[in-house]
Amino acid sequence: MAQDGEAFQLNRGRPMTIAAVGAVVILVAAAAATTPGFISIQNFRAILAATTFVGLIAVGMTVIMISGSFVSMSLGTMATITAIFFIYALKFGIAGAILSTLLLGGVLGLVQGFLIGAWDANPIIVTIAAGALMEGVSVALTGGQALSPPDNNYAFLNTTPCGIPVGTFVLLLLVAVVEFLLRRTRLGREVYMLGESRAAARAASLSLGEVGCWVFMLAGFSAALAGIFLASFNHGASLLLNRGTLNYDAIAATLIGGTAIVGGRGSVWRTLLGVILIATITNLVLLRGYSFGAQIFFKGVIMAVFVIVIHLRSQRGR
């Protein structure tokens, strides 16, 4: 039965996979034909960099949505907070900075997961409050000033093996690991079951608190990874790194990838396609000189179209 359910989930998501791939191909072809500078190695690396930052956050967002916890409004803030911490921790060495930053991200996610999973608190309220609290603590500790690294011992994080940013390889590895956990482990099956029906999960004697903690801890870990690469790419960190778009882009990419916002259905691989689409759109409008508002508008239109298609397909399926 579990295998049949998994196959059903994959088959339901396949049309959205095809749609996402088709949209990316059409967009790239149109951009290449009409936008000067779009086809270049430098621009290709810029798109990959944007894919890395949003993609790492979107991995965590996907798992949260699949678990039925709607969305997290704090992952973008967690990425910037951990970026600031990473720059501060560099004075203790690069290995210590990376490990402590990942630990911080995991703990921040774990606390939110406990409140949502064990106490059944509203995920939107909890994550908004957590984001505001983290920003407040950060401003109090840094005075709102940007932090600069003490040395250049993080330079390897900005290298481009084979012309591809090292962060992109980390993103692909994380996607593969999380997809394996979701599809091939007991924890992954419990995450899908929790998203499908909390009542059924309780009837199956699942520990909702434990699953929720794991989900949000994983999301915090992925946000911390994004923070590390954000800080290294920008050679410093401040709250301005978020600019209010990281969370929005991660949510948009996850929905475009076909993950059900009510839970129980989704794939990290398909989310990656959504991330590529969002990064390409952002890059395209920047090259064309459109304003920040226009970027939000175009991404909103694309997201609305995909969400409507998902809704119509789910209604027809019922």
CATH of the domain at 65: 1.10.3470
Q: Is residue 1 included in any domain, yes or no?
A: no
- The long-range contacts involving 194-197, CB below 8 angstroms and separated by at least 24 positions, are 194/67, 194/68, 194/263, 195/65, 195/66, 195/67, 195/68, 195/260, 195/262, 195/263, 195/264, 195/265, 196/68, 196/263, 196/264, 197/264
Question: Which amino acid, one-letter code, is at 26?
Answer: I
Q: Is residue 136 included in any domain, yes or no?
A: yes
Quick one: pLDDT band at residue 201, thresholds 50, 70, 90? confident
pLDDT at 49 over 70: yes
What is the spatial distance between Cα 62 and Cα 275, in angstroms, rounded to a whole number? 11
Where does 235-291 have alpha helices with state H? 246-256, 268-287
* pLDDT given at position 23: 66
Task: Look up the domain containing 157 and give its range.
Answer: 6-316
For 277, other C-beta atoms within 10 Å of its C-beta total: 25
Residue 146, CA atoms < 13 Å, CB-side half-sphere? 10
Question: DSSP for 144-203?
Answer: TPPB--SSSTTGGGG--GGGS-HHHHHHHHHHHHHHHHHHHSHHHHHHHHHHH-HHHHHH
Per the document, the length of the chain is 318
Q: Is residue 211 included in any domain, yes or no?
A: yes
CA angle 109, 112, 114 (to 5 degrees): 105
What is the spatial distance between Cα 109 and Cα 215, in angstroms, rounded to a whole number? 8
For 291, the 3-state DSSP assignment is: coil
* pLDDT given at position 1: 42
Q: Is residue 206 included in any domain, yes or no?
A: yes
- Buried (b) or exposed (e) across 221-241, using 16+ Cβ within 10 A? bbbbbbbbbbbbbeebbbbeb
| Per-residue tokens: 29 | 């072809």
pLDDT in tens, 97-152: 999 999 999 999 999 999 998 788 899 999 999 999 999 998 888 888 889 999 89
Where does 118-146 have alpha helices with state H? 123-142
Q: Which pTM value belongs to this model?
A: 0.89
Quick one: pLDDT band at residue 24, thresholds 50, 70, 90? low
Q: Is the dihedral of CA 188, 193, 199, 201 positive or negative?
A: negative
Q: Is residue 24 included in any domain, yes or no?
A: yes
pLDDT in tens, 73-96: 999 999 999 999 999 999 999 999
Share of the chain residues as helix, strand and coil, in percent rounded to the nearest 5: 80, 0, 20
What is the spatial distance between Cα 124 and Cα 116, in angstroms, rounded to a whole number? 10
Q: Is residue 286 included in any domain, yes or no?
A: yes
Instruction: Give the best-scoring range by mean pLDDT among 57-66, 138-147, 277-286, 290-299.
Output: 57-66
pLDDT in tens, 253-271: 998 888 888 889 899 999 9
For 119, other C-beta atoms within 10 Å of its C-beta total: 11
Quick one: pLDDT band at residue 40, thresholds 50, 70, 90? confident
Quick one: pLDDT band at residue 315, thresholds 50, 70, 90? low
* pLDDT given at position 4: 44
pLDDT at 220 over 70: yes
Count the domains in the chain. Answer: 1
